Structure 1
Amino acid sequence: MGQTTSAFLRTYAEKLHQFSPNARWYLASVVITGASMGVFRLLFNFYVLSQGYDETLLGNLITASSLTALVVALPMGYLADRLGRKRSLILGAAAVSLAVWVMVLLPSAGMFVAMNVLLGLGQSLSGVSMGPFLMENSGDAERTYLFSFSSGFQTASAFVGNWIGGYLPTWIGAAIGVSPMATLAYGGALMVIASVAALGIVPLLALRTPKLSASQRSAFAPLTYFGSHAGILSKLVLPMLVTSIGAGLIMPFMNVFFRTVHHQPDPVIGSMFAWGSLAMGVGLLIAPPLADRFGKIQLVVVTQALSIPFLALLGFAPWFGLSALAYYFRLALMNMSGPVYQTFVMEHVDAEGRATVASLVSMASNFGWAISPTVSGWMQVRYGFDPAFAGTILLYTLSVALYWWFFWKSPRKMSLPARRRI
């Protein structure tokens, strides 16, 4: 056991040493934004509910940001190539921080919707830039580790963010003399994290990345690339699309679920989210050596399949402790293979098609989150959480079956385009 741990740590030390300066600056930004957005995801729903709105509006807001990211994904891929990776990442981060600030300073249903649209724009631009940026700043040996570190650092830093976020309204409420569940307490907490999110831009300023000239990219390149590889790209993206539809039914409402079903206060939920982020971060960090040993697709299928029983236990367990335990295992298992699969996708597309494929991946990831939360919010108001959990279980099962069918059972049926080294 000791030798295995030593070998594991040695491998990680070697991979970290191979990371480029650009990659390290990017990871520094990820740590800052991960912590701040962990607080945002924990508290924003409560902030909206504290103003008298219900879960229907929450679903509509999630739909607004995700639908925006879905609609603009291809144009953002084109824009990311025109602006360059550095400018795209900075602009995306700035848009997210600004959106949170405005929602606190000018709270209303209309402004919430408008700023969630801006949030979707910023997240889309950052999202479609991230995969190509990591590909362009890594080699074959450390690439899977860099993708997993990017996600792992983000979720591990959210451990700190979620823990602090659970107590931040209490601290701010005490300072200004209001209840921890008052709108002013939640708003003050969100203003703090919007400021911290803005600090995440600072490491991005140190990036050194080339900008593609206008002649290097046609305005119709995304459509042309998709038309040339439609069958292959459909297989790569379809399982992610099914997963996102299922995730959108439940995942945006986990804080509301633990409050309404298990009657837990904000500090407990914040601590749960914090430990959940840590569990997910650990899962992401151990995924690369497992993928090296067993194969990328094998890791995806096995870990996501194992997460489904824990999802059922999370949604239908009668006791909070059992539900919370299932929450940790489901979170780690379901998400640990995400960067591994993203690496698999990016490794098998041409250099000039990476922004386009990143856009398609973003569209698939956001499609379910654009549609499902509105449906789920409506169901929760009328029927509670049970139908939403049942739908998620069914869709996750289908997604795992698709991964297995397309890439494990019949890998030779998929002829991927040749990968170019850059």
Structure 2
Amino acid sequence: MLQRPRTLIGRGARAYARTLREAPPNAKRYLLAVALQNVGIGLLGTLFALYVRARGLPSSVVGDVEGALALASGAVCLLLPPLVQIVGYRWLLLGASVAFGLSRLGQALPVGPAAIVALGLAYGLGDGVIRSVGAAFLSENAPAGSRLTMLFTADFALRVTASFLGAVAGGLLPTVLGVWLPETEALRWSVAAAGLVMLASAVPLIGIRENRRTGGRAWRRYAATVRSFRSWRRLLGMALPQGIISFGAGLVMPFVPLFLRTHAGASVAAIGVIQGAASVVMAISTLATPLLVRRFGPIGAIVITQVASLPFMLTIPLARSLAVIAVAMWVRAALMNMAWPVFNQVAVDGVPSQDKPLMLGWINVAWSVSWFAGSVAGGRLAAVSLTVGYYFTAALYLLGALATWALLRSTQLGTAAHDAAGSSN
């Protein structure tokens, strides 16, 4: 009975290995760079808030850094389409790696809170580039057809694996360094290590080769695209609920390590394992998404999973056992995020082709601006209580889910029909 599943798993693993082996050189370089970046992201997800507090700085600094990052990332999402035409992918991706690495190395130095926040702006520039052009670059440097799908899936798997490894390393590294160094210094050197790993992601990108680009009238074409945008109704239906949810997430997500350390008494190593396992659980949970879509439809799947996550969100601040908190965090994260592939489909399916880049860019801007506001407010709230924010976030998640249903429940999907008719939503 087990022979067939094992055979299928083996075939799948060999197919993905062959896809990575036969991928074009540019795609391989990009995947290696993104894997290194996600190791650094996993490290920082475990360490950064703990590092800031260990230095005696208020939790508001963590929120302000997240806010600065989001604000810069959102601005880049708006401005990047013409820049791709002018300078090309290679220089933008290289600039992102350098911004990632140098900003985190700078934050590991004994600088004041204003400098730490300002360096968060630099990090956000790199984040905006990767979020805006990464998928486009990979699609332009990959084989067509099913191999493209497999390459995108391999990209996702590499990101999740790298984030998991980084999060676990983020728990172990300061523990090991703590044998010789005070805790603050151990965390400082760990943050510096994350910066070095992210800076190293520039090395494979140096070898990227692409055709010479001519900027021409890139800015004029971009302005014309904005003027001709027709999918305002769909944009409102996507951006408003996501803005509400992003604000709620900003209230608590940057401060999860502080909550685990203070409220649950978790060690740094335990925090790393909990954070890393959350990314794996989220990735696995997406496998069930097609079943939910067939049963409830795309919008129903989004709303149902978001609402189902709320009891687990409320369990987190009420529980006292670290094991219960960890399980609640994993289930909440899985339910809240498992419908992201469906959300991305709804964002572009049935939208005219010329509107799709702006649709995704402006949704990212809405998310970033709301995250900025939420994380800045969350930093002040965390200084008073690390638990109250979870109740506000649960209420905002519920409001966001209801807004999604109210604004999108009548949305008709079908790219071919809408593009052929040239209709807007």
Shorter chain as normaliser: what TM range?
Answer: 0.7 to 0.9
For 1:362, which of 342, 361, 364 is the aligned residue? Answer: 364
Question: Which residue does the alignment assign to 1:178?
Answer: 181
CA distance in structure 2 between the partners assigned to 1:139 and 1:90 by the alignment = 25
CA distance in structure 2 between the partners assigned to 1:352 and 1:128 by the alignment = 16
TM alignment of 1:4-403, pairs within 5 A: 20-21=23-24, 22-136=26-140, 137=142, 139=144, 141=146, 147=152, 149-174=154-179, 177-179=180-182, 181-182=183-184, 184-210=185-211, 213-215=214-216, 217-219=218-220, 221=222, 224-225=225-226, 228-229=229-230, 230-284=232-286, 286=287, 297=299, 299-346=301-348, 353-382=355-384, 384-403=385-404
Query: Structure 1 412/331 Cα, relative in aligned 2: closer, same or farther at 3 Å?
Result: closer
Query: Structure 1 72/34 Cα, relative in aligned 2: closer, same or farther at 3 Å?
Result: closer
CA distance in structure 1 between the partners assigned to 2:213 and 2:357 by the alignment = 12
Q: Deviations over 1:88-116 (max 9, x none)?
A: 22211211111011122352112102101
- Most deviating of 43-52 and 334-343: 334-343
Name the aligned partner's letter for residue 345 of structure 1.
Answer: A
CA distance in structure 1 between the partners assigned to 2:402 and 2:133 by the alignment = 29
Query: Structure 1 357/14 Cα, relative in aligned 2: closer, same or farther at 3 Å?
Result: farther
- Most deviating of 372-381 and 67-76: 67-76
Aligned length: 414
CA distance in structure 1 between the partners assigned to 2:371 and 2:365 by the alignment = 10
CA contact (8 A) 2:281 2:334 kept: yes
Query: Structure 1 203/291 Cα, relative in aligned 2: closer, same or farther at 3 Å?
Result: farther
Structure 1: runs of 5+ lacking an equivalent: none
CA contact (8 A) 1:77 1:358 kept: no
TM-fit CA distance, 1:404: 3.6
TM-fit CA distance, 1:237: 2.8
Name the aligned partner's letter for residue 189 of structure 1.
Answer: S
TM-fit CA distance, 1:271: 1.7
- Most deviating of 193-202 and 290-299: 290-299
CA distance in structure 2 between the partners assigned to 1:160 and 1:344 by the alignment = 31
Query: Structure 1 227/49 Cα, relative in aligned 2: closer, same or farther at 3 Å?
Result: farther
TM-fit CA distance, 1:154: 1.6
Name the aligned partner's letter for residue 112 of structure 2.
Answer: S
CA contact (8 A) 2:285 2:335 kept: yes
Name the aligned partner's letter for residue 121 of structure 2.
Answer: V
CA distance in structure 1 between the partners assigned to 2:132 and 2:364 by the alignment = 7
Structure 2: runs of 5+ lacking an equivalent: none
CA contact (8 A) 1:25 1:206 kept: yes
TM-fit CA distance, 1:349: 5.2
Query: Structure 1 5/307 Cα, relative in aligned 2: closer, same or farther at 3 Å?
Result: farther
TM-fit CA distance, 1:145: 5.7
CA distance in structure 2 between the partners assigned to 1:296 and 1:15 by the alignment = 28
TM-score with structure 1 setting the length: 0.85
CA distance in structure 2 between the partners assigned to 1:140 and 1:408 by the alignment = 31
CA contact (8 A) 2:225 2:354 kept: no
CA distance in structure 2 between the partners assigned to 1:209 and 1:304 by the alignment = 41
Q: SS at 1:43's partner residue?
A: helix
Query: Structure 1 314/142 Cα, relative in aligned 2: closer, same or farther at 3 Å?
Result: farther
TM-score with structure 2 setting the length: 0.84
CA distance in structure 1 between the partners assigned to 2:379 and 2:212 by the alignment = 42
